[in-house]
Amino acid sequence: MQALYQLDVQGSDLLPRLMGDFFFEEERDEQTRTLAWEWTNGTWAKAAECDDIIGGSTIRWQFSRLSPVDRSILRLAVYQLKHCPDIPPKVVINEAIELAKKYSTEKSGPFVNGVLDAVLRKLRTEDPNAQDQ
């Protein structure tokens, strides 16, 4: 989430440096670092798709009004819900809520929960064979 936030704020030019600097400074375990890189790179590559899904799932809230932190949390979670079938949706949503509680405002946890519940319903409607929560 922190890497996605940096990309959102500083731009795509930062992407090559993330693997070389940020992930090595923040995480010593190679397996965790590799997974974080895959999720970051995948989420950033699919950011427009994730943004469309998020925008279609927010009620009375414009996507452009989301804070960069909430936007990064939601993008990562939507990417994982849509492209990481090995992660149970309940785990994705719970982790996103915890990130929102830790890094964003008091109201972000419930907001993220509501948006991701709507996203999950939409994804299941589009693909009835989607994994159960």
Q: Residues 59-115: pLDDT tens digits?
A: 777 777 889 999 999 999 999 999 999 999 999 999 999 999 999 999 999 999 999
pLDDT at residue 72 in the model:
95
Distance separating alpha carbons of residues 10 and 6, to the nearest angstrom: 6
What CATH number corresponds to the domain at position 59? 1.10.940.10
- pLDDT score at 70: 94
Distance CA 40, CA 61 (A): 25
In a domain, 133, yes or no: no
Q: Nearest Cα to 76, choosing from 37, 102, 111? A: 37
Averaged pLDDT, 17-30: 69
Q: Does the pLDDT at position 52 exceed 50?
A: yes
Asked if the structure places residue 68 within a domain, the reply is yes
115 lies in a domain?
A: yes
Predicted local distance difference test score (pLDDT) of residue 131 = 52
Total of domains in the chain? 1
The number of beta carbons lying within 10 Å of the beta carbon of residue 70 is 23
Asked whether residue 18 is assigned to any structural domain, the reply reads yes
Report the predicted TM-score, pTM, of the whole model to 2 decimal places. 0.86
10 Å CB burial of residue 89 (0-12, 13-18, 19+) is buried
How far, in Å, CA of 63 to CA of 50, rounded?
11
Q: Residue 120: name the closest of 58, 70, 87, 78 by CA.
A: 78
Query: Residue 132 falls within a domain, yes or no?
Result: no
Backbone angles phi, psi at 58, to 5 degrees: -90, 130
Q: Which residues constitute the domain of residue 41?
A: 2-126
Does the residue 85 lie in any domain?
A: yes
Percent of the chain with pLDDT over 90: 53
Q: Is residue 131 part of a domain?
A: no
